Amino acid sequence: MINVLRKNQKGLWIVIALLCIPFVFYFSNSNIGAVGKNEIGHIYGKPVSTVELQRSARLFNLARELGMFQFLQDMVATAQSENEAYAEFTWNRLILQHEAKRLGIRPLQNEVVDVIRGLQPFRGDAGFDINKYTQFTKARLPAMGFGDAQLEELASDSITLGRVKELVGVGAQVPATESQENYERAYGKLDVVVARVRREDLAKDVRVTDEEIGKYYEAHKAELMSEEKRKVSLVTFALTQEQKGLLGRERTEPLQKLADRANDFTQALLEKGADFPQIAAKFEVPVESTGEFTKSTPDPAFAANPQVASYAFELSSEQPNSDPIQSPEDFKVLHLEGIAPAQPLTLEEARPKIVDTLKQQRVSQLVATQGTEASAKIRAALKAGTPPEQAIQQAGLQPERIPPFALMDQPGMNVGPDKQPQPEAPDLNNIKGAVAEMNAGDGSDFVPTENGGFVAVLEKREQPAAGEGSERARLIFTSQLLRNKREVAFREWLQERRTDAGVAQQQAPTTFDFDS
């Protein structure tokens, strides 16, 4: 899309002039139902257009730049991708505004101003910085098609959301017994013994026969391909050694100059008949050529930033030149020199990959089988009164005692006699999850992990330590528990409002193009 814009930049001025009047309506906060074409769905029986979705997406991005992360989290908590987040933000804002009107919620102007003054991009050492505010509103907002009014719009939405959450959560309570029980479960020290099943131990005895390799090859021949290879030439616009040591604005200025040069370079490549080496010579930058490389094994030219190599696989014969690719200290422009397509592998070429695949499959089966059997044996022994370590040994595994921990412990909280943090036990978070709801003397199911898996036995659960700070910790925990309940209440309320509004079945677009 950027290349298209560059190629047609003169014509775009005419198009922009013709679109000035329609875009007044595009950026206004007017009735979204007025647009009848390109509808993405309906809410409260009225259509919602792609224009409104795009506008909401830009508001979402503006809120992100303003640091309104809690607001965004509340509005798009169920989204699984950026496109879904844009869609959820659109629907939920419309619902929020509808419900605010119904409930009579209308933020005061001074409240809106206070929220804006508190936004992170506008803060300085002494508080609100009018210069930062002016710079943002004059430079960043127009680039997004917005003005001061959209800052007020987001601030008002944020205040409204807070009021709605207060109303919805007013009935949420945490009984003292529930609070105490959850506090003890979260902060009580746990004594746990685990039995590990290790992939590396089982892999030693796994063998793959030639017959198995041959059968796998015949069944998966179409999938067994070599990696596609690419060859590119490239130029680099880099900071000097002296500039690399600069910080802040002193570093930003030379980087911006490099960005401008790189953009001018790619602009020159768009001219008819442009030749990459000739353009490079004109800009007085050397051309570097790579050998053939794959996605998994980048060329040494990309050693400092291997991710840059992935851009080579986005190029084609129709679009052989990349846009400027920024790294911390330079900008690169790639030019596609050649493509070596993926080729079917012969049996011998595919053999190492097949052997590894079959071994991994076999080991995974053995791990699951041994782990499940061990869990059953350990649980039976525990029920019969066998001590945890002995029960694990009877199941054919070695017991491993985990240093006592609490579910709410953070990394580095457990310290040894020398006051140094004790090393965290492998898979500790998984172990916490396995024993969180268990009673003392119980054994867990087999829990798979990257390196195999484990069975955990909760030997003892102690009460939280009493003393200075324990009451304060309990009060903080209760407060957090109450906040969590209120969040759940808000989520349930929002889901009900979405259903009532008719958006429960709406789906996010699979693609999202701001340039369309």
Would you state the pLDDT for residue 512?
A: 53
Q: Which residues form the domain of 418?
A: 189-209+348-461
**How confident is the model at residue 451, as a pLDDT?**
94
Whether residue 255 sits in one domain with residue 180:
no
Same domain, 172 and 304: no
Tell me the C-alpha distance between 151 and 68, whole Å.
Answer: 11
Q: Are 243 and 296 in contact (CB under 8 A)?
A: no
Instruction: Note every long-range contact of 236-244, with CB atoms under 8 Å and residues 24 or more positions apart, other chains counting.
Output: 236/285, 236/288, 236/330, 236/331, 236/332, 237/261, 237/262, 237/265, 237/285, 237/324, 237/330, 237/331, 237/332, 237/333, 238/329, 238/330, 238/331, 239/329, 239/330, 244/329
pLDDT tens, 154-165? Answer: 999 999 999 999
Same domain, 365 and 260: no
Residue 441 shares a structural domain with residue 516: no
Count Cα atoms within 13 angstroms, Cβ side, for 349: 9
Q: What is the pLDDT of residue 173?
A: 82
Asked if residue 16 belongs to a domain, the reply is no
Residue 277 sits in a domain of what CATH number?
3.10.50.40
344 close to 225: Cβ distance less than 8 angstroms: yes
Q: Which residues are registered as beta bridge partners of 448?
A: 453
Across the chain, what does the average pLDDT equal? Answer: 86
Task: Report the C-alpha gap between 511 and 337 in whole angstroms.
Answer: 30
Write down the pLDDT at residue 402: 94
Same domain assignment for residues 416 and 309: no
Asked whether the beta carbons of 198 and 452 are under 8 A apart, the reply is yes
Is 295 within the bounds of a domain? yes
Which of 309, 340, 371 is the endpoint of a domain? 340
Query: Do residues 193 and 46 both lie within one domain?
Result: no
User: Does residue 221 fall inside a structural domain?
Assistant: no
How far is 63 from 86, CA to CA, in rounded Å?
Answer: 12
The tally of domains found in the chain comes to 3
Secondary structure class of 127 (helix, strand, coil): strand
Let me know whether 282 and 361 are in one domain.
Answer: no
Residues 26 and 34: their CA atoms lie apart, in Å, by: 11
> For residue 114, is it within any domain?
yes
| Residue 424 sits in the same domain as residue 469 | no
Q: Are residues 89 and 161 in the same domain?
A: yes
Q: Of the residues 340, 365, 397, which one is the last residue of a structural domain?
A: 340
For position 21, what pLDDT does the model report? 38
Q: Which of 171, 173, 163 is nearest to 71 (CA)?
A: 163
Is 291 domain-assigned?
yes
61 DSSP 8-state letter: H
- Those residues of the chain that have pLDDT short of 50 are 1-36, 412, 505-506, 515-516
Together in a domain, 131 and 35? yes
Q: Which of 290, 317, 340 is the last residue in one of the domains?
A: 340
Based on the domain organization, do 363 and 452 belong to the same domain? yes
Among left, alpha and beta (phi > 0; psi -120 to 50; other), residue 197 is beta
The helix-helix angle for 148-168 and 109-117 (nearest 10°) equals 100
Domain annotation covers residue 296: yes
Q: Which tens digit of pLDDT belongs to each residue from 231-249? A: 999 999 999 998 988 887 7
Domain CATH number, residue 171: 1.10.4030.10
**Residues 165 and 132 both lie in one domain:** yes
H/E element, 54: helix 50-65
Q: What does the pLDDT read at residue 421?
A: 60
Amino acid of residue 391: A
Does 456 map to a domain? yes
Q: Is residue 8 one of the residues assigned to a domain?
A: no
